[in-house]
Structure 1
Amino acid sequence: MADKPSRSLVVYGDGLASFINESHSHLHALASRASCGFLSLPNSPPSESEEARIVREFAELLDASEAYHSMSGEDAAEIECQKKSPMPTISERFMGMRSAVVTNNTTLKSLGDKLGFTTLQLSDIIDNCGPNADSRLDIVASGLLKLLGFQGKTLETSPFDLVFIHIGEGKKDGQKNAEYVNGLVGQIMHLEEQESEISSRLHLSVVLSYGPVSEGEPDLSVICKNENNSDLSLLFPRQSYAVEGRNVRDNLRYHGPMLIAQWQNGVTRKDMAGTFSFKDFKEHSGILTIPADRFIHEVAFKLWKAPKYGA
């Protein structure tokens, strides 16, 4: 644990996990020094649109499925209940945590506004840098760190404690967006290495999802082969990610999880993963699998804004 509260940057590549390959050296370098694992998701509703999936899965990362359902109008009774007792903002839930989300998706902006995030576009953090600044990864990386009070050194106060940047619209332009995420991570790591004070205070998370997946993809299952063997199943107790309190989680999807790598210099407990890949994470990760809706709680803990979740 750090001796001062961290500030957190979350790079979220929506639907990009399947596009990662050997050439994405910066992502693999991050995984080799990070703590890696999976974030499990609920099953997708039948006939879900791509836009709805994008927002629903992002809401899971924020433990805000109620807010998503109220936006989509799926549960009228729940919406009526929320009118009487509205969902608290991110700041109210996590001890005044100041949070921003950078996205060009208008529906995600609406969700962010509903949850009390400051919603930004890339143009808001690279203002006055020219018409092609959004493709200049050094400018984007510096702009994101500036939002967290990192400007060559760590300022005592910062506009935000937590910043999400959302990249990708599912599998649209997937290869191009995967290259962008890889380059952006490389620039962030480069800036961290130049200034040790920033490196010790910045908690970096890279989360990549698969987007729409089918159950018939056994290579993307988080369940070990022996767990499906009826003769050996009793030797494998139900894992903690499948349980909420004393109850088994309903509607849990065991395939196609989000991939996550988290790193903070001098704080992160490195695992044995060496590449940013499903296979390596399954065999060598330290985080293993946690529910996606616990992610925001884990990050808030690093920022001294929430008690520790789990062990």
Structure 2
Amino acid sequence: MGATTIVTRFAPSPTGHLHLGHAHSALFAWRRAREAGGRFLLRIEDIDPVRCRPEFTDAILEDLAWLGLDWDGEVRVQSAHLPEYGATLDALSARGLLYPCFCTRADIAREIAASAAAPHGPDGPLYPGTCRRLPADERAARIARGEPHALRLDMAAALATMREPLTFHEEREGRLRCDPARFGDAVLARKDVPASYHLCVTHDDALQGVTLVTRGEDLKPATDLHRLLQHLMGWPEPTYAHHGLLTDETGKRLAKRDRAATIREMRAAGATAAEVRGRAGE
């Protein structure tokens, strides 16, 4: 594979059946790779053991094949690679860039409510840093007692490693400035999930040699945090192409939680693959 070969990927989470929005995103990445003679990868992001189900993984593979999409190499299933994500967390922790957070959602909500002006980021109110201020011996004792905890990125420590501002290259827009600080001390591993989306996606994009990250524009803000993780871990920087989102007749984004019509339902109703691809914006 040449150094300039485009490598894209589609990386759904198996928490439900694919709908038109997913088809649009998959087709967008698949076309970019195929038109350039590059590689299109399929990744299953099933880190969350509560929401992800293997039958949805099977359905994703079946729906994509029915749509006529093919992919290169084996499908990467994230749940089969937990030690790799753990090694990344260990590397960040060894550099003093992570800290354990014992707060519950209720604890955080109470502290934010008591604050006169809680700052907000792309995902809502920022964590107030309660556990960042814990003494090292107290952290160690609580971990030794087996207290459930998340792992948070110490954003101030992470930003202190940078010699110049981070940027990323967005197709059609050029270089854009990153502001990872707006995420605050982001969670990189939850109490019930061994590694976060942010950590896993950047790890896998680097490992798999993805050169062009294509995804919905709703994920564009996350690029700031992903570029910081790439900087911290010495991972290569891909180019980004964030595409528009499909909406319903009211202008609302298609989503699983709103019971958007699935590809399987359209197929059962008699739609052809070509028709579904057309509705997905091909």
Q: Which structure carries more relative contact order (alpha carbon 8 Å, separation 6+)?
A: 1
**TM bucket, shorter chain:** 0.3 to 0.5
Larger radius of gyration: 2
TM-score by length of 1: 0.30
TM-score by length of 2: 0.32
